[in-house]
Each structure stands twice: as C-alpha cells, then as structure tokens.
Amino acid sequence: MTYPPNAPASAQGTAPARAGTGVPAQPSVAPAAAPPAAAPPAGPGTWAEVRERLRRAATTEPGRLQILGAVLALLVVAFGTVTAFEVADRASSADDVVSRSQPLSSDAAAIYRSLADADTAAASAFLAGAQEPPDVQKRYADDIATASRLLVKAAAGTEGSAESSREIATLNEQLPRYTGLIERARAANRQGLPLGGAYLRYANGTMTTELLPAAERLYEAETARLSQDDQDARDWPFLSLALGILVLAVLVWAQRRTYARTNRVFNQGLVAATAASVVVLLWLLAAHGVARAGLNEAREHGQDSLRVLTTARISSLKARANENLTLVARGAVLTDDGKNDKYETDYASSMNALVDALAQASELADDDAGRDPLAAAAERTAQWQERHKDARAKDDAGDFEGARLRVVGPKDTTGQSFDQVDAALKRALDHEQSEFTRAAEGGRGALTALPLGAAALGVLGAVGAVLGINRRLSEYR
Amino acid sequence: MRSGVDGAGMPGRRPDGRARSTRRPLGRLRGWGGVAAMAVACGLTASLTLLPLAHGGRGDSGPPEVTGPGVGTGVHVKADSCENPEASLRPSGADGPSIDAIKARGKLVVGVDQNSFRWGYRNPDKRVIEGFDIDLAKAIAKDILGSEEHIIFRAIPTNQRIAALESGKVDLVVRTMTINCKRIQQVAFSTAYFQAGQQVLAPKGPGITGYDSSLNGKRVCTAEGSTAYEALEKNPFGAVFQDEHDGTKDDKDLLTVPNQLDCLARLQLGEVDAVVTDNALAAGQAAQDPAVELKGEPFTTEYYGVAAKLGNDDLVRRVNQILVQYRQGAWTKAYDKWLKADLPGISGPPAPKYK
C-alpha cells in the first residue's frame, strides 16, 4: 500500500535528477530544453525528498517514534515559550500599572489639585487685603511650582499619547497667562484699586474654563490608560492554556501508545515531560489567579476610591475659591439669568459635589483607616457649611467686614474648616494610595518568576520527552 | 442685568425716547429665552409704544435715527413713555411717618455700592466705604439725625436694590441708580443729583476720538446687556464688539464681559482697543489707569437719583430739600474731590424738576 504512491514520487523525484546529471551523457536530447527541465525540480525535489523520507519513516516503528519525539519536544518547548511570553506580557502590564500608569494618573491628579489649590490660595490672599499673608503666598507659589514640575514630568511620561500631549500643551500655554493675571491682580490690590478684583476674576475665569478642564481631561486620559494596563494585565493567557491542554493530551496519548505496545506503565522521560507541563499549567493558573485577585483588589479598593476622593478634593477647592470670590466680587457678577450671585451659586454646586463624593467614598472605604478621615471630612464640611451660612447672612445684612472675618479671619473661619476638610481628604487619599500600591504590587509579584520558570520547565519537559522516546528507540538498535 | 453697577445696565435715554423704549425689551431677550420673557416683552412693547400716542406725545413724528451726540437735547427728553421720570415731589422739611421711624431708630440705613471706584468703594486700607455717593448719603444722615456718623451702610448688589427698599432692609439707596420709567413704578426717586451718559474710554493719544467712525475696525468692550452694548448694536461705527458665542455658556467673555470694570483689565492686556460705558463709571476706570481717558462727548443722557420705598413721600421730600442745599456748594466739593480729575468739564449738578 505504500509503494503505489511512492512510485510516481520516486519517478518524479529521480527522473529530473537523472536528467540534470545526465545531460552530457545524453546529447541526443535538445540542449535548449535541458536546463529548464533541470532547474525547476531542484526545490520541489528536496521538499519531496523530505516528504518521501517522512513517509518512509512513518512506515517503521523507529521512524514513527522519531517523529513522535520531535513533535512532543516541539510542543512542550512551544508551551513553555508561549507561556513565558504571555505571562511576561501580563507581568509587564502589571508592572506598568504599579510603576507607570498609576503614578502618571496620580501625578495628573496632583496637577489638577495644585492648580485648583493655587486659585483658592490666590483668592484667599487677595481677600486678606493689600498685605497678603506670607503662608498663603507661599502656598500659591508652591502650588504653581508643583504644577509646573509635574507638567514636565507628565510630558516625559506620556510617550506620544496624542490626547495627553494636547492637554499638557494647553496647560503649558495657559499657566503663564494665569500667573500673569494673578500678578496684575496683586499689583492692583496693593494699590487699593478695585481693578485688582477684575483681574482676579479674569484669572479665576481662565482657571475654571481653560486650565482646570484641561487638567481634568489629562487626569481622565491617564486614568483611562491605567485602566487599559490593568485590563491587559488581567487578560487570561488563553493561548498558553490551550497549548498546555494540548501538550498534556498528546503526552497522555503517547504514553498510552507506549503502554499499549510495550506493556510498560511508565516511561520516565515522558512522565517527566508530563510533570513539567502540569507544573507549568498549574503555576500559570495559580499565578494568574493571584495576580488578577491582587489587581481586582487594587482597582476596587484603591483606584475607585482614589478617583472619588480626587473628585471630593477638587470640589472642596472649587467651593473654597468660589466662597472667596463671592466676597471679592461683592455681587458684581451675577448668574446668566441675572437672579443670583454667580460665585455663590458656583460655591453651592461645588459644595454639593463635595458632599456627594464624600458619601460615595464612605461607601467604597473598606476599613477603619479609610473611613475615619472621611468621617472627619464630612463633619468639617458640615461645619464649613454652617459657617458659610453665617458669613452669607452677615454679608447680606451689609456687614461685609464681619463676613470677611468669618471667611478669612483669625478664628472660627470657613477657611479653617476647609483646611481641615482638605487635610482629612489628604489622609484618606494617602491611605487608599498605599492600599492600591500594596494590592497591585502583590498582583505583580505573583507573576514575577513565572516567565523564567515556564521557559525552564518547557526545556526540561522537552528534554524529558526526547530522552523518553530515545529510550524506546534504542530498543530497535 | 448682569452689570455690576447701575449705569452699565440701565436703559439710556436718547432724543428718540420712544424708539428706545420699544427696543429695550427686545434687547433684554438676548440669552433669556422663555415664553414669559416674550410675553412681558410684548406687553411692554405694546404699552410703551401706545402710551405716547394716548398722551398725544411728540414721538408721533416717528423715531429719528441716532443723531450723534445729543447732550444738548437731554433736558428736553420728556416725551418719554412716562413723561418726566425725573420730576420728583416738592421739597419739604416736615417730618412724617418714615422720618419718625428713622429718628426713633437713631440710624439711617443706606444701601450703597462697594465696587464703584470714586462713587461707592470699599477702601481696602481704611476698610471704609467712600466716594461721591457716600458723601451725599452722609449729608442726608447729618440733616435728619444731626450727625453723619448715625448711618449704617449696607452694601447691596445691583439686582437687590429695589428688593432691599421694598423689604425695608434699607431706608434709601444711593448707588449710581438711574431714574427711568420702569423704576418709578417700583420706587420713589428724589430729584436728579447727577447727569451721566454713555461715553468712550480709550488709551490717551490720537486714534480713537469718541463714539464715531474712529471706532472702525476697533475691538470695543462692553458689559453684557448694557446700554452701551445696545447702542453699539444699533450703530457700531464698524467696531467689533460681539463675542462668537455671546449669550451662551460657551461665551468666552472677551468683548462682552460680566462687569464694566472687566473691560479695563482687557484694555490693559491689549485684548480690546476701547471701552464704552457710562461716563460716571468710566471716570472710575480712568482713575485707576493714568494711561486711559474719556473720549469725545457722552452720547446718551441719564440721571441718577436717590431712591426710597414707594409711598415714603415725607422722606423723598426731605431728601429733595437736602438736595436743594447740597447743590449750593457741597455738591461741587464732592465733585472736585472724587470726580473732577477724571470727569472734567461738569459745571454743576442738573437742575431739579418737580411734579
């Protein structure tokens, strides 16, 4: 049954070869026709020879064993290699989460916060009068320096992300413009000119309509990238799993075959290959499961809380800036419908956003260390609202000075309540940040040794398979 | 009305008073939308256009187009829809229920501005409110209660002036408040104590010469919804004065701004070439920047009055009595102190008109 197919193959394979070598011996054949006849068969000839050899090998048991050994070795090595690559990919994504995307996202949040804080500090300093309090001045200067520094860092870290680059460009363009307006506001305020208030409001407008939205978009973009890396790290390595199952199936089949032919239960080499493959497969499942669990925890208990807390902090800063501006503008700017004070209205909406975000953060907080600062923040926010109401009542009654002292005065001010809210939120943020880092690092750690282990075990398994087959093979020699 | 100070947001009055009144509600519609506003606008338009006819007013001859600076005719602009809005009650020094209440309290409560430089402004160094309006308020307190110390200033925003009077939160409002036909339905005004008008403010030197063709191609800043904006809408002289998204939330507030003082900031930053606003407030701007000045002549006429709650006739008569005295010398003293440097050329207060 093997000869009939072989006959035409050998006829095809040998005839041209003979024709090629036999050109001088057969001058009767037209010389022009000989080279084209000789050249094309060269390729198919060797390929055909390989096929021929394989076919011939497959007819004998040693030949079949050789083929089986080669296939097993290849499969096990492929399994080890694919696992190593896929896991290395997940590990690098997990590493990106911990050491790149999350820091970039939290830097973007810090830029956002610094800008909002600078605006708040500028308005507070302005409201204090011609002599700006040095600590508030310093706070403003620090905020601007932090924002500038982090912008440079972010520009280096975003690696050509078009969206982030655009927002960073906007921020870099608008920030000097903003600080210029603030300096003019200060200069005019020092001379006691109401023009200072106009400049401060202009600066605030630039901040709230240009800078803060750009910073928010940057934060969103970086956070989206973090989610992407997180997702990449948690993707199941399906190819590795499928290959692993295939390898085990083939190994089991090979051993069953050996058992059927020799009645020997164990072939040590094949058993070793099977063991190595099982270890890689289990390791893969366990490590990936642990990594996913870690990253899940980081996302649920860290990242989501961080996002809500960042919103809370920004809202508190906006509320504070608007509270100050209500007194700076003194009713000079009304809402679009002309019925209410613009800044007081903006204060109210920021305050609502703060209260909402605090409630949400409390739901997300999963331990006392996370809940305590939030309870403190909520308490101080309530106090702030109380004092604000009092300040408004004073201002509405025509007691501007009384209202001003309630907002930026020496004691029992809304400013102190705000500072306490901010400090509590910072504590909560720090806690959630460390929660995030701990969980995500745990996840990343689970994958650390796997790529190398998978590669080594793959090689080991392949060697086992080859040795096991060779042992059977030697019985034929 | 989003302007911080009265003049910027008040309907100016021109020789063609009738046409002005009909335009006003339409102008206010910008950015408000809403059926209610439309209904009010229609009602107002109808009543204001029909009233002069009923009175056999002189506006019948049809609204003349803007005839340029028309200050000279200001005194004759009586053919308004309400005829003589600045005519007030005859002066009298007699006490009445509202003066008795003030005396019983021992303090006069006056609603003032704290944002208008030279008019009513909180001096950040001295932490007191000072200005032309404040001096007048003090003179009133001195006359009624014997000392200018017996006064409580309540800073009130523009949109709260009438409400503050109606609720009795303040006895009087002295706050660059323009006398007009709509307001005399809501509050009682004294005789006019200042005549103002829309004027152009621009950097010193040649270039822009006033509300004329020198504005061609220039970027002009106004307060949103102000008289100045409406005037430019009618006759822009080729000036650029509208933002791309005016009246929407995308409004960038470059040429039209929430408050007239914002215009000076933009002028200094080189973002606009000129400002059009009430000359009284423009004087406050010029006082803050020696590099700018008022250009040309005012091209509208409006009068400021002291406002009291409707029906407090004894108080209004008393204020008019005080104003008679005040015009004799104190007015000029206050003018010299607060306004003359930046708003020169005013020889004296407007003459009082009585019903």
What is the model's pLDDT at position A327? 87
Domain carrying residue A178? 69-229+237-470
- Per-residue pLDDT tens over the stretch B83-130: 788 899 999 999 999 999 999 999 999 999 887 899 998 887 777 889
**One domain, residues B171 and B311:** yes
**One domain, residues B290 and B147:** no
What is the model's pLDDT at position B17? 38
**One domain, residues B188 and B313:** yes
**One domain, residues B224 and B342:** no
- Per-residue pLDDT tens over the stretch B186-218: 999 999 999 999 999 999 998 999 999 999 999
**pLDDT by residue, tens only, chain A of 477 residues:** 334 444 444 444 444 444 444 444 444 444 444 444 444 445 556 888 888 888 887 888 888 888 888 898 999 999 999 999 999 999 999 988 888 888 899 999 999 999 999 999 999 998 888 788 899 999 999 999 999 999 999 988 877 688 899 999 999 999 999 999 999 999 998 888 889 989 999 999 999 999 999 999 999 999 898 989 999 998 989 999 999 999 999 999 988 988 888 888 788 889 999 999 999 999 999 999 999 999 988 888 888 899 999 999 999 999 999 999 988 887 777 777 767 888 999 999 999 999 999 999 999 888 888 899 999 999 999 999 999 999 999 887 777 888 989 998 888 999 999 999 999 999 999 999 998 999 999 888 888 889 999 999 999 999 999 998 888 888 887
Choosing from B48, B76, B104, the residue where a domain stops is B76
Q: Which of A472, A127, A143 minimizes the C-alpha distance to A320?
A: A127
**Residue numbers in B near A186 (CB within 8 A):** none
CATH value at residue B204: 3.40.190.10
ipTM of the complex: 0.70
Is residue B25 in a domain? yes
Q: Are strands B302-309 and B274-278 parallel, antiparallel or unpaired?
A: unpaired
Which two tokens mark A306? 């961080």
Is residue B1 in a domain? no
**Residue numbers in B near A338 (CB within 8 A):** 1-2, 159, 225
Contact A144, A175 (CB under 8 A): yes
Q: To the nearest whole number, what is the mean pLDDT of chain B?
A: 79
Choosing from B33, B57, B76, the residue where a domain stops is B76
**One domain, residues B189 and B124:** yes
Q: Can you list the alpha helix ranges (DSSP code H) found in chain B?
A: 6-9, 17-29, 35-54, 97-105, 132-145, 161-166, 227-234, 260-268, 279-286, 313-326, 330-338
Q: Which of A195, A332, A337 sits opposite B288 (nearest CB)?
A: A195
Domain carrying residue B261? 198-295
A207/B151 Cα distance (integer angstroms) = 40
Domain total of chain A:
1
Is residue A330 in a domain? yes
What is the model's pLDDT at position A36? 44
> Distance (Å) from the C-alpha of residue B294 to the closest C-alpha of chain A?
17
Is residue B61 in a domain? yes
Is residue A56 in a domain? no
Q: Which of A314, A105, A57 minimizes the C-alpha distance to A224?
A: A105
Pick from A201, A328, A394 the residue to mutate for testing the B interface (most B CBs within 10 Å): A201
Cα–chain-centroid distance for residue A419? 32
Domain total of chain B:
3
B146/B157 Cα distance (integer angstroms) = 28
- The answer to whether B355 faces chain A, any CB pair under 8 Å, is no
Please give the model's pTM, rounded to 2 decimal places.
Answer: 0.75
Q: Which of B115, B249, B252 sits opposite A330 (nearest CB)?
A: B115
**One domain, residues B224 and B257:** yes
- The answer to whether A186 faces chain B, any CB pair under 8 Å, is no
Is residue B2 in a domain? no
The residue with greater pLDDT, B28 or B184, is B184
- Per-residue pLDDT tens over the stretch B48-59: 444 444 443 333
What is the model's pLDDT at position A395? 83
Is residue B13 in a domain? yes
- The answer to whether A184 faces chain B, any CB pair under 8 Å, is yes
**One domain, residues B18 and B151:** no
Choosing from B295, B326, B346, the residue where a domain stops is B295
Q: How many residue contacts between A and B have a Cβ separation below 8 Å? A: 101
A281/A365 Cα distance (integer angstroms) = 36
- The answer to whether A176 faces chain B, any CB pair under 8 Å, is no
Q: Which of B4, B31, B111 sits opposite A336 (nearest CB)?
A: B31
List the single residue in A with minimal CA-CA distance to B114: A330
**One domain, residues B202 and B289:** yes
**One domain, residues B204 and B285:** yes
Residue B22 has pLDDT above 90, yes or no: no
**Confidence label for B157 from pLDDT (cuts 50, 70 and 90):** confident
Residue partners of A105: CB distance under 8 A and separation at least 6: A219, A222, A223, A225, A226
